[in-house]
Amino acid sequence: MNLADLVERVKRHPDFRKAGMVLCHNGVVRETPGSGCQPPGSAGGLVDHLVVKVDHAKLAEVVARHKRMPGIIEILAEIAEGRKLSVGDDIMMLVVAGDVRTNVIPVMTSLIDEIKATVTGKTEVRRND
């Protein structure tokens, strides 16, 4: 996964000349478990690594639906899956290109939320498990 490569791919889209914004998301493995609201060392300790599973059909559906939203030109998504991801490793990279920020930012937020809720599943392994 390479964010710069995704941005370059978006820039080659035939309608990119209509873009006024390219918004990027780079999700990484953090050491705090779950929502990050638990204090370090609680609920079994800090994260050692995690493994992500992806429903690729659902990902394609979610991306396609978000591409149809007003002002959106292109969306690219890459998610690391099926391997041990350590703290600091990249989990998910998203790039959304669109006309103006008032269209692009809400789409990115919705896209992240929906992918996390319906497309991906993760198994966290804690340091003292």
Q: Note the pLDDT tens digit of each residue in 52-106.
A: 999 999 999 999 999 999 999 999 999 999 889 999 999 999 999 999 999 999 9
Cα atoms in the 13 Å half-sphere on the side-chain side of 69: 25
The pTM score is 0.88
Residue 11's identity, in one-letter code, is K
pLDDT of residue 82: 87
Q: In percent, how much of the chain has pLDDT > 70? A: 91
Handedness of CA 22, 115, 42, 50 (dihedral sign): negative
* Per-residue pLDDT, 44: 63
- The residue to which tokens 């990484």 are assigned: 28
Reported in sequence order, the residue ranges of the chain that DSSP labels E, i.e. its strands, are: 21-28, 47-54, 72-79, 85-86, 90-98, 120-126
For residue 38, name the pLDDT band (cuts at 50, 70, 90): very low
CA-based Rg of the chain, rounded to a whole angstrom? Answer: 16
Residue 125, beta-bridge partner list:
49
Helix or strand run (H / E) with residue 21: strand 21-28
User: Are 129 and 44 a contacting pair, CB within 8 Å?
Assistant: yes
pLDDT band of residue 39 (cuts 50, 70, 90) is: very low
**Angstrom distance (rounded) from CA 111 to CA 92:** 12
Residue 33 has a pLDDT of: 83
